[in-house]
Structure 1
Amino acid sequence: MQSLYYELRIIIFKYVDTPISLILTDRKWYAITQDPYARAEWLIYKYGKTHAIFHAVRLGSDFITVGLVRNLLVRNAIISRYFIQRLLMSIGSEGSWTSNLPSPIFTQLIIEGYNRDLVVKGNDMELFHYLSDPADTLTSINDDPQKLFQNLNTIEYHIQLIQDRSQDDYPPKDGYENSRQLNVIARAILIYPDLVYMWKEIGYYEICSDVNDLVMQGAFLTLFPPTPPTNWIIPDIDFVVTRLRQLLAVGFQLTRVVMEETFHLFKLRLNEIGDLLISSFQVIRNESKFAIVRSCLIKTLKPERDHENFNLLEFLINEIDQPAETALKYVLNHYNVAFKYDANSIKLSKMRSLSVNSSFYDWVLKEYGPNSRITQQCFDDILESRIWIDLKLQENPERDIPEHLTLQAFNSICSIYQKYCNDKVPFKANYFPYLKLVKNEEIIGRFSKILSGLELNIKLPYDINYEYNRSEVNNNQIMTN
């Protein structure tokens, strides 16, 4: 029975994203977390057999052991020649992903590489780059793949990615591939998609998921070159769909992220190819235009997006078959643009910032005016963020900016609040409990007639003296439905 309990604990441990929570529970769970077999199961489940050994090394001497490596190899975790090459390139480099690797484990991995007849000298990524580089332009990928074809038997054994993440240095100190190297892989797949089958034959089943977005975006760039040659013509929908299905057949996917990133990639050419993209997406995904546009609309407003202009947002709103404000309300609700606290709980919040980029709030104000419901919903988010700033500064009057809030975020919140005040967005009754908490005259200035007993010298419009750059907004870009 005890053995059964132990096995069940290992199964539970395998599915835990961050094991530290179990380590602190009791001694039995601590023992599980130290078991090389349990650690191997956790690594393979979390990262797959292709990347498990890399992550074991990356997690350092407190995690990796000789027993763990042995358990990973018994479970057929892949140790590729490119991994061994990268290991040799990085070992001894201060601050690198191998800097804390114990010598016995390094020796164990190198011996394993020799036992498998892996050639440890050289750099297979550079060789792969050379073999898959037919020319310098994107359009030539469709025209001149002979060099890659002639060397497929060599390439089959030469490359296996360690992991995918964008970094600039090479070799990067954290061990992840940088964007330049991943683009080499994506380009080769675009030349010869069946290359994917060769990787899968040697155990690299994650190849499609690792480079899916790069390959799919690369396909669109070859279909719609950024600088088209003089003889280029816009492909029809059948040609686009055929090309995409060729990639889908080997395991790639036209995800919602890929669709939105593609729209963003061509945001300055949407008048030319926007409708063609939507029609192609409809055929591939077998979804309605409404479903595709709405999902892309959500991702267009993600906070980390660069909101330099709103061409894409305006294009998608005009394509959706419902009133623009209804579509935007759906998106704002997705990002929880609203009051998130009450007058008591906001005091306990460690962080309250804008739910979406303030440039979008500026665009809404100029596009729909101060009295629209969508503008008022945005102001709820802005006002609560501004009140939170004041409460935190009351707690720490020696600070100019609340702890954990960046200067850029501080200026963004304060400046957009002033803009909404200057445009006289209406006061709502549910603001009153919040306003009783604040002391900053900038916040309560425009509500001084409601908050009796306060003598304030605030006049509108505010002089906006917070440094924050927003893109210019052109009005009347949205078609009325």
Structure 2
Amino acid sequence: MESLYNELRIEIFKFVDTPISLALTNKKWYAISQDPQSRADWLIFKYGHAHALFHAVRLGNSFLTSEVLHSLLSKNAIISRYFIQRLLMHFGPYDEKLIELKIEHNVNQVDFDRIRAFQKKLSSPWASNLPLPIFTKLITAGYNILNDENLVIKGNDMELFHFLSAGPLVINQAPQKLFQNLADIKDLIINKKFVPFPPRPKPAHEDTVEYIQLMQSRAHEEYPPKDGYENSRQLNVIARAILIYPDLVTLWKEIGYYEICSDVNDLVMQGALLILFPPTPPADWERPDTKIVVKRLKQLINLGFKLTASVMEEALHLFEHKLNEIGDVLLESFQIIHKKKSKSAIASLCLIQAIKPERSHRKTDLLEFLNDRIDQPEKAMKNALECYKVGFRYNTFSIKKIKIRSLSVHSNLYYWILKKFGPNSEATQKCFEDIMESRIWIDLKSQEILEREIPDHLTRCAFNAICSIYLEFCNERIPFKANYLQYLTLVNNEEIIRPLFEISLPNLFGLELKCNSYKIDYEYNRPEIDNNENNKRKYTDMNEQPEHPDRSGWIRLLEDLQTLVNNNTDITETFRNNFEKFLERITSSQNQEINEEVCPKRLKQ
């Protein structure tokens, strides 16, 4: 019976994303996590036969033992000539003493900075700290499995594939050259087991200095990358070859590389559309109709590629400047392929991808295009915002402890939503909650170190975006809700508090506004928004709100807040002063309607 339990545990173990979390639960799971067969099964199940060895090496010598390697090879994990070549490129540590001496004796400041930067990137490149016995066993296995005593290990099969597939030639001239080299390409795949390394996972977008530095370093990284992953330039070589000769997919699947379609899915599908709609069309080019687009996409889908929401949105984004010409052709083609979905549903799926944080929305053509083709645009936008958790994320205690709280999506999107749907829209309110929490987080960090304007890690650009969009929303008289108050009592910055007491609450209680708008001193650049009369009419009904919908809630809150202000030391002095000034205004108001609703005696106590 115990043997059966162990088999079940091994089977369950395969499905765990991070085995360490399961291994720490008890001794039995720990024993399973140490079992070579379990580790090999987990690698193959998670990464496939083609990439199992790459990830085994990446996970390091604490994971890849001689027994695990033996188990992987016995389960037919693919070992290619390219894998051996890359292993030899990366194996072994760098001579840090030599690097230090070069830095010490180098008089060229440019070289000094370059070498120092290089030294910082030396932390365990892929395969560099592989134990010698494992390295030797991998090399030996490569020779044995590939059955080639004259194995060309001082080469680079990715570069070889690039030339064989006519990579240096323009796409119109490439097919002829590729077909001339087809026998060599087949030999490279079938006999040398050529498989590109897996694509690098995309890091989650952050408005941090570290994220910007990471993306800049990747944009200018040397080949092959130190982390071992294949970069997009090399994967584009693979995708381009597939578009010229789709049967390459079948060849790769024959050797067990079933992940080929998922590895280059987006590149292949986008590449197909770029060939159909070239950026610089030749003189004899004719615009493809829906039938031609659908036929080409279905050919690729039959091979195993997928027309995902990401692919569809990326295609529309790619042709954003041509949406008036080809946008509807693309959308109709997508709808024909996804028969069960309406155009509105497809546009809604694309909208989720279109508002991802890394999009700057300097142009809003795509947003306008999708918005005009969605049946219920505000509802679709609310759903899209929920996918990125736009709104309040933290309570008044946890917000003080988090490392960074920036905007969930780009401030230009919030600006577009504000202008498109108006300040009373539920989608706009969600955006304002997200903006407010980010702005308050900045203030809390500045209270910790008074001389620090921008919190650590946050970029100057993100700081300006948060501060400016907050004031832009306030200038549009966005209503402050009663639940905002618990956050605002923590604030020390007049710029954050004043809009509540000088615009929002006076507007709610019918008092004269002492300030109509605030000057914005932060650098920012907003897109032009097309707010024509049709748009205004479209959202008029949606933005109509009951008169003073939140007044009664605010009255109760203000009544209770007076006692809290006098007794709670966590409330900032800035908030107290602004609250007392407003309290004096409202209790001395000559507005009969307010006097009937507000209990002056209680407020004045």
TM beyond 0.5: yes
Residue from 377, 384, 390 that aligns with 1:337: 390
One-letter code aligned to 1:114: Y
Q: Which residue of 2 aligns with 1:104?
A: 133
Range with greater deviation from structure 2 (262-271 or 418-427) = 418-427
Change (3 A) 1:178 1:479: farther
Q: Which residue of 2 aligns with 1:87?
A: 87
**What's the CA shift for 1:194?**
1.0
Structure 1 residue 474 and structure 2 residue 507: aligned?
Answer: no
2:53 touches 2:78 (CA, 8 Å); kept in 1?
yes
One-letter code aligned to 1:136: L
**What's the CA shift for 1:340?**
3.5
Matched residues, number: 473
Change (3 A) 1:447 1:288: closer
Alignment of 1:252-267 (within 5 A): 252-267=305-320
Q: Which residue of 2 aligns with 1:162?
A: 197
Change (3 A) 1:86 1:134: closer
Q: Which residue of 2 aligns with 1:72?
A: 72
Q: Which residue of 2 aligns with 1:416?
A: 469
Change (3 A) 1:390 1:213: same
Change (3 A) 1:401 1:10: farther
**What's the CA shift for 1:284?**
1.4
Q: Which residue of 2 aligns with 1:462?
A: 518
1:364 touches 1:375 (CA, 8 Å); kept in 2?
yes
Q: Which residue of 2 aligns with 1:292?
A: 346
Q: Which residue of 2 aligns with 1:251?
A: 304
Report SS of the residue matched to 1:268. helix
Range with greater deviation from structure 2 (27-36 or 169-178) = 27-36
**What's the CA shift for 1:162?**
1.9
**Deviation digits for residues 114-168 of structure 1 (CA, Å, limit 9, x no counterpart):** 1122424322222211111176333445777533445453343342112123854
One-letter code aligned to 1:115: N
Q: Which has the larger radius of gyration?
A: 2
**Deviation digits for residues 28-72 of structure 1 (CA, Å, limit 9, x no counterpart):** 433332222221122112111111111111112222111111010
Give the TM-score normalised by the residue count of structure 1.
0.90
**Deviation digits for residues 195-227 of structure 1 (CA, Å, limit 9, x no counterpart):** 111111111111111111111111011101111
Q: Distance in 2 between matches of 1:403 and 1:134?
A: 44
Q: Which residue of 2 aligns with 1:19?
A: 19
**Structure 2 unaligned blocks of 5 or more:** 95-121, 202-217, 507-513, 539-605
2:199 touches 2:231 (CA, 8 Å); kept in 1?
yes
Report SS of the residue matched to 1:386. helix
Change (3 A) 1:38 1:107: same
**What's the CA shift for 1:335?**
3.0
1:318 touches 1:479 (CA, 8 Å); kept in 2?
no
Give the TM-score normalised by the residue count of structure 2.
0.72
**What's the CA shift for 1:399?**
4.4
Change (3 A) 1:50 1:477: farther
Report SS of the residue matched to 1:249. helix
**What's the CA shift for 1:386?**
1.8
Range with greater deviation from structure 2 (179-188 or 83-92) = 83-92
Q: Which residue of 1 aligns with 2:293?
A: 240
Q: Which residue of 2 aligns with 1:304?
A: 358
1:138 touches 1:221 (CA, 8 Å); kept in 2?
no
Change (3 A) 1:249 1:448: closer
Q: Distance in 1 between matches of 2:295 and 2:175?
A: 14
**What's the CA shift for 1:308?**
2.2
Q: Which residue of 1 aligns with 2:557?
A: none
**What's the CA shift for 1:336?**
3.3
Q: Which residue of 1 aligns with 2:567?
A: none
**What's the CA shift for 1:371?**
4.4
RMSD (Å) for aligned C-alpha atoms? 2.7
2:352 touches 2:387 (CA, 8 Å); kept in 1?
yes
Change (3 A) 1:109 1:342: closer
Change (3 A) 1:327 1:39: closer
Change (3 A) 1:424 1:134: closer
Alignment of 1:362-377 (within 5 A): 362-377=415-430
1:318 touches 1:478 (CA, 8 Å); kept in 2?
no
Q: Distance in 1 between matches of 2:528 and 2:417?
A: 9
Change (3 A) 1:135 1:81: closer
Change (3 A) 1:64 1:256: same
Range with greater deviation from structure 2 (109-118 or 134-143) = 134-143
**Structure 1 unaligned blocks of 5 or more:** 452-457
1:57 touches 1:101 (CA, 8 Å); kept in 2?
yes
Range with greater deviation from structure 2 (181-190 or 426-435) = 426-435
Alignment of 1:5-154 (within 5 A): 5-92=5-92, 94=94, 95=122, 96-116=125-145, 117-118=147-148, 119-121=151-153, 122-133=155-166, 136-140=169-173, 146-149=179-182, 151-154=184-187
Range with greater deviation from structure 2 (206-215 or 35-44) = 35-44
The percent of aligned pairs where both chains have the same amino acid is: 59
One-letter code aligned to 2:157: D
Alignment of 1:402-441 (within 5 A): 402=455, 405-441=458-494
**What's the CA shift for 1:415?**
1.6
Q: Distance in 1 between matches of 2:318 and 2:254?
A: 33
Range with greater deviation from structure 2 (340-349 or 227-236) = 340-349
Change (3 A) 1:7 1:316: same
One-letter code aligned to 2:158: M
Q: Which residue of 2 aligns with 1:454?
A: none
One-letter code aligned to 2:256: G
Structure 1 residue 320 and structure 2 residue 355: aligned?
Answer: no
Change (3 A) 1:311 1:477: farther
Q: Which residue of 1 aligns with 2:334?
A: 281
Range with greater deviation from structure 2 (211-220 or 409-418) = 409-418
Q: Distance in 1 between matches of 2:395 and 2:64?
A: 47
Change (3 A) 1:151 1:79: closer
Q: Which residue of 2 aligns with 1:455?
A: none
2:364 touches 2:527 (CA, 8 Å); kept in 1?
no
Report SS of the residue matched to 2:303. coil
